[in-house]
Every structure is written in structure tokens, then in C-alpha cells.
Amino acid sequence: MVIWQRLRPYPSLLVRHLQISFLEAQSEHQSTRLGILWLPLSTLVFTGLLALLFKHSDEMSVGYFFIYVLSGYTLWLFIQDSISGSTDLIQKKLTFAIHNNISMFGLFAKSLIDRLFELGINTALLVGALILIAPSNLQANLLLFALFIPIISVTSVAVSYMVNLVTIIYPDTGAIIRTAVRFIFFASPVFWTYEGTGGLKHLLATYNPVSYYLGLNRQVFGIEPLAIKPWLIAAAISVVLMAVSAFAFSRTKSIVTNIK
């Protein structure tokens, strides 16, 4: 009972922040006729282009390859914003956080909710595409979504803080990080597949951490077969990132909270 009383405010707080994220997204697109619908529409158009331009396997239909790319690209947008969108988060919003009595954790949590809101819209698009193209893929694996979201959430916050910390200490690294993220996009199996046990693609898929999170998302929606190893590897990566981020925060609180 005591635990429930302590946790009770968090669901309502989450809903309130999601409403704020919705209003902010509406505000960003208020000058357009389609408004917030531009979020899934832009994802749909770009995914369609990738699927048409990069399909190379006769064993996979255009429709199924479109779903493969869409599942990768929706999560990639979340990953990209976790990194590139965090290079100056504290610098831009610290004053706002102080004036509104928002803690440092609260600042990064709000940014996470914004990313999850956009991911939710794109995920709805993915589910719609699955219903139209491959309805049989929507199976019991969807229950893993309840595990997948916490894994990517804690990873996003950890990466977001460490990226921002680096740019605070070394301001010029912001541009380098954003450029590196564009390289990671091409080095990750977002729009290309990998088979066999050799070759550059297999090497990238094995040693690029992003590939494991992309695989988890595809397993949830039945696009790739369920396998335990990617979940264990992704969970281990997330734990390490959380530990490093927590240690870094404990050592640098005085730095990040005294930015001029």
C-alpha cells in the first residue's frame, strides 16, 4: 500500500507530460494544414524511398522490405534524437528548468517523454502497415513491448546525459557527434539486411550496438524471429551505459548545474 501511494503520482505525471508533448508538437506544426500528421507522413515518405531504392533481395517482397525498413527507421529516429538532440539540452533549457523547479533528472525525463511521444506516433504507423501488409506478424511477441520500452528509455536517458556532458566540457564536439550520428545511420541495419557469418555487413551488425536495439524492435513486431541473445546483449549494454552515466552525473553535478 505504501509503495502504491509513492508510485501513484507518476502515471498522472506521465500523462500530463505526454499532453505537453502533444501540445508542443502541435505548436511546431501550427503553420501547416496537416499539423502533427506531418510526423508520421514524413516517416512514411522517407521509409518508402529507402525501401524502393535499397531493396536488393528477391527473397523479400517490396511490401515486407518496407515493413523491415519502417521498423528500423522509426526506432532510428528515437536513437538519433537521443544523441543529436541532446548535444545542447542543458545549455538551452537549464534556465527554464531552474525557473520551473525541474530537477536535472526531470529535464532529461521530459526530453525522453518527447521522444517516446514521437516514437508512439511512428509505432502506430508501423502497426497500421503490419495490419495491411503482414497481419500474421502481430502475434504474442507484442507482449515484449512492455520490456522493450524500459530498455530503450533508460538507455536513451543515459546516452543523452553523457553526450550532453561531453559537449559541455568540449563544446566543439557537438558538431562532431552530429556528423558521427549520420555515419552510424548508414552503418546500422536500418535499410539493409545482413545474412551469413562474414562480410562487412555482418561485422557492422555484430559490433554496432544500435543493431541490437533495432533487432529487438523487429522481434517485438514479428519481423525477425524471436531470439534471446540480442535481448541479453542489449540489456547488458543498457546496464553499462546506466552505470557509467550515473557515475558521471555523481562526479559532474556541480559542473552541469553552474553553466553560464
227-254 pLDDT, tens digit each: 999 999 999 999 999 999 999 988 877 6
Distances (CA, A) of 143 to 119, 135, 146, 214: 17, 16, 6, 17
**Cβ partners under 8 Å of residue 219, min gap 6:** 141, 144, 225, 226, 227, 230, 231
Evaluate whether residue 25 is within a structural domain: no
pLDDT digits (tens, 9 = 90+) for 65-117: 999 999 999 999 999 999 999 998 887 877 666 666 667 777 788 889 889 98
Evaluate whether residue 124 is within a structural domain: yes
Evaluate whether residue 94 is within a structural domain: yes
Answer with the residue of higher pLDDT: 194 or 207.
207
Q: Find the domain containing 141 and state its range.
A: 43-256
pTM: 0.86
- Residues 189-216, mean pLDDT to the nearest whole number: 86
Evaluate whether residue 24 is within a structural domain: no
Evaluate whether residue 164 is within a structural domain: yes
**Count of domains in the chain?**
1
Q: CA–CA separation, 20 vs 18, rounded Å?
A: 5
Distances (CA, A) of 39 to 109, 121, 123, 216: 21, 8, 11, 23
Residue 181 DSSP symbol = H
Nearest to 195 by CA among 35, 49, 25, 59: 59
Evaluate whether residue 140 is within a structural domain: yes
Residue type, 239: V
- Residues 177-198, mean pLDDT to the nearest whole number: 88
Evaluate whether residue 134 is within a structural domain: yes
pLDDT digits (tens, 9 = 90+) for 9-29: 555 555 565 566 655 655 665
Evaluate whether residue 174 is within a structural domain: yes
